[in-house]
Structure 1
Amino acid sequence: MSNPDRNSFSTSIREILHKYNLPPPEDLLQNPPSKHQWKTTFRNATTDYWEST
């Protein structure tokens, strides 16, 4: 991962994952979910976030 520069791609991804209460990128890289599992997890996380907001 790159340094925590506000303009970096990895920082943007980290912020998005944190916003939707998803696992950090390091965890996803070490144990990648299947495409179907990731789509379901991401869809549920974003839906939960926007319903509560």
Structure 2
Amino acid sequence: MPDSLLDLTAHGLAKEIEVGEVSAREAAEVANTRIGEVEDEVNAFVTTTP
């Protein structure tokens, strides 16, 4: 697995989830954390849900 789930393509992430290398919950948590880090700068999301 790459150092960060953020380095994966969508297809690569789907494969990691499919084989059980990473959970969908873990992928969502990583994505939500990244959104929290950059949202003030990019202003791309209206609402996020955990």
- Interval containing the TM-score (normalised by the shorter chain): 0.3 to 0.5
TM-score w.r.t. length of structure 1: 0.32
Relative contact order higher in (CA < 8 Å, ≥ 6 apart): 2
Higher helix share: 1
- TM-score, normalisation: structure 2: 0.33
